[in-house]
Structure 1
């Protein structure tokens, strides 16, 4: 049986589900296709090990879609402060007082009530599926993946692995870093694997829910704390948090092999002293990290968004925020195409989308790479340079806060002088 739609979105994760909802709210008919079933949420269950730091800009977008009330009705933890510091012990550390190597951003200084929210991915996805399911124009095709893509002059036919066929004027690949749609469309990708991996842990700690997220930088990589919600009446005076430990695959394999009690004690000792007293380890997982960028964002009647188009070092948790920015931009471009009575796959329109999103995504990739290489080493001159850089950021709050407002989605534009500087950095155009 064949079903016909204006747009088929393949991948119903956070970005794909948001885009499908927004397009349907704009009057398009949308097929939302995903191999996985609907995400689940149990209020009394331990938190999903996958969490994201949703920026103020992402929050506004989710508000527009109508998903934010559902998210806050489940679980979302606002953070009002963000801190970074260099934790590397080295003789040159004595040349710079420690207080000058610590930088803290706070919502009050940035003129806002909060900097963002830490939200479990399953919560965000569940909320978006609820809104999509209640939106006329969205049809779900779940439990089956795409096995073939056939492009014709005026449409694309997707064959699902259960024999169903979906016709659409445009296909959006939002199916992740290992995108099947990108592969079927013949779009190449450049990939750089980092030496580090990231281990994520869901833990309980003693104390109230904190309002700060922080990262201490070590030569082997950062160690981060992301606050979550209260552990509830069953665990009085305890709260949940997500921890991230970047290190070599060999070191993380040794850590994961430890009994939970030994691993908790190791974390308590290895993390910065700022870490609250841990009481319980619920789950842990590690994954490789890589920078990846599609050679182009569209081909024919196929266009990419989110991780299908780009993945970055998760150092600052910007991946899903970039994906939501892709979705907003593509939604606007397609709405304008329909208003002008143009084909949704008009190459000039899709090129407009790529012109807007590729440079912004490249800039964030470059920024994360600079942090990665600047902090993940013991080279004495670089160690001194990063400490001086943190000191300068501390001493220049106006410039620092302007950049922070942009990075956290409070402002839509990077300050002009910094935009010009970023565009002149060698190698940016090759990312």
Structure 2
């Protein structure tokens, strides 16, 4: 029996809404299901690196960044004590700072404006299977009537975010909490370097900020550990590890935000993609793969996944051949692993570096030198350089630079030089094991 839909998308968040907005104008019939279509307030997904902006442009969706006060970002500023340095994005690429919720509503409106998209307001309950254990759709509870209904489609995309209800069906993923972010909005805040993301390295814990509107700056403060901090502990953390290191130019806005309270706390996850490839279903976005948000690489990875999956799906003549759909899903999982490995490794490796006093100082000095190494590093961070060899080379060049810089200060620094090399290897090894293959790194060596 022919289905009414070609694709059922579970979750109208960034991943689900964007792939719907991209595929629907091409005549693909889509059911877009979500429990809530109201604007959400989030504290991450507010910085689009140039790689994410480029993906939107290539998909013809760049206009979705217009009309809601999104702000251009030209690069990064690093602040370590009384020293400061800036690193521009390469080749005049720009990033964008914005309100995640406002951006998502733009994307949803674009998707739902297509006649081929059916909006379904309800909670997805269970993936439907045929007698061959192939996924043929989803059951859901309709929001207004509470009635249990079903949707059938040749392909079901689960894109229901980092609290996905369908990982057990479609993956062997293991999710861990690496730390927490404390989020504040600083109103009418002057930053040391306008139109830049800022990384503050002076204190014992890293914190970052970037513009999200013409009069608002997002401040994200790391709280290490796996357990959700209590309010009193949060305040003590801010007082001891953040407030003394806020630049004077930002102090008034920061003090007002602290006084107003209402800051949000969210867990930072790491989850390597380990999908179970099942006929009729595919995972997309944070439901499949997560990395630490310190580098702002989340939307770069999401939009990259959408491009890769869509390219494979659009190469099909129709959605009647389920074997062909299955082949395309396999190709998507293979290609997206290669495309997003740098984003995943860098995000968690950089968090490890920023939490290590020796490596933190080394990375500041390394990037402060500028030149080719700084340019290549920022290109990887921006999502513009996906070459695996470049990532490994830059990471170990940084570690060797840090060790050499310590030895130059005297032979008494030799133990610290050895430690910096050991720490760097300890950080990168498990991440590389999860995300990279030796053959891919060697192959990329010849493409560099």
Q: TM-score, normalised by structure 2?
A: 0.76
Give the structure with the larger helix fraction: 2
Provide the rounded CA distance (Å) in 2 between the counterparts of 1:204 and 1:266: 22
Decide whether the 8 Å contact of 1:179 with 1:308 is kept in 2.
Answer: yes
**What are the residue-to-residue correspondences of 1:265-280 with 2, within 5 Å?**
268-273=243-248, 275=250, 277-278=252-253, 280=256
Task: Give the C-alpha shift of residue 176 in structure 1.
Answer: 0.8
1:60 maps to 2:77: no
Does the aligned pair in 2 maintain the 1:310–1:361 contact within 8 Å? no
CA displacement at 1:389 relative to structure 2 = 3.7
TM superposition shift of 1:125: 0.7
Residue 12 of structure 2 is aligned to residue 12 of structure 1:
yes
Matched-pair contact (CA < 8 Å) for 1:403–1:414:
no
Distance (whole Å) between structure 2 residues aligned to residue 272 and residue 297 of structure 1: 48
1:312 to 286, 291, 301: 291
Residue number among 398, 405, 414 corresponding to 2:386 in the alignment: 414
Alignment of 1:139-288 (within 5 A): 139-142=118-121, 144-152=122-130, 156-161=136-141, 162-183=147-168, 185-194=169-178, 196-207=179-190, 210-217=194-201, 220-230=204-214, 239-248=215-224, 253-254=231-232, 268-273=243-248, 275=250, 277-278=252-253, 280-281=256-257, 283-288=262-267
Counterpart of 2:376?
402
Alpha-carbon offset, residue 246 of structure 1: 0.5
Q: 1:122 to 1:190 in 2, by over 3 A?
A: same
Deviations 1:261-293 (A, max 9, x none): x97999543434563531632641111222112
Within the candidate set 77, 85, 98, 1:83 is matched to: 77
In 1, distance between residues paired with 2:6 and 2:360? 50
Q: CA deviation at 1:253?
A: 2.7
Superposed displacement of residue 181, structure 1: 2.6
Change (3 A) 1:220 1:263: closer
CA distance in 2, matches of 1:307, 1:354: 14
Gapped regions of structure 2 (runs ≥ 5): 142-146, 397-427, 436-448
What is the match of residue 133 of structure 1? 112
* Structure 1 gaps, min length 5: 41-46, 88-97, 231-238
Change (3 A) 1:344 1:106: farther
RMSD: 3.4
Aligned residues of 1:311 and 1:319 also touching (Cα < 8 A): yes
The alpha carbon displacement at 1:340 in A equals: 10
Aligned pair count reads: 388
Cα deviation code 1:205-234 (max 9, x no counterpart): 45489312101135643111112323xxxx
Q: 1:430 corresponds to which residue?
A: 434
Structure-2 separation of matches of 1:407 and 1:217: 17
Of 208-217 and 70-79, deviating more is: 208-217
Aligned-partner Cα distance in 1 for 2:230–2:249: 22
Three-state SS of the structure 2 residue aligned to 1:322 is helix
Measure, in 2, the Cα distance between the counterparts of 1:223 and 1:416: 27
After TM superposition, list the pairs within 5 Å mapping 1:87-98 onto structure 2.
none
Change (3 A) 1:38 1:286: closer
Give the drift of 1:374.
Answer: 2.1
Return the structure number with greater strand share: 1
CA distance in 2, matches of 1:73, 1:323: 22
> Counterparts of 1:280 and 1:327 in 2: how far apart (Å)?
40
**Stretch moving more, 6-15 or 395-404:** 395-404
CA separation in 2, counterparts of 1:177 and 1:257? 27
CA distance in 1, matches of 2:245, 2:118: 48
Q: For the structure 1 residues 117 and 193, does the alpha-carbon distance in structure 2 shift closer, same or farther, using more than 3 Å as the test?
A: same
- Determine helix, strand or coil for the equivalent of 2:347: helix
- The answer as to whether partners of 1:268 and 1:277 remain within 8 angstroms in 2 is no
Match of 1:106 among 76, 84, 88: 88
Q: Deviations over 1:7-66 (max 9, x none)?
A: 1111101111001121212321111111112327xxxxxx86555111223223334556
Q: Larger RCO: Structure 1 or Structure 2 (Cα < 8 Å, ≥ 6 residues apart)?
A: 1
How far is 1:422 from its partner? Answer: 8.7
CA deviations 1:71-96 (Å, max 9, x no partner) are 32112011123112445xxxxxxxxx
Indicate the SS of the match to 1:156: strand
Number of the residue aligned with 2:304: 325
- Alignment-derived partner of residue 371 in structure 1: 350
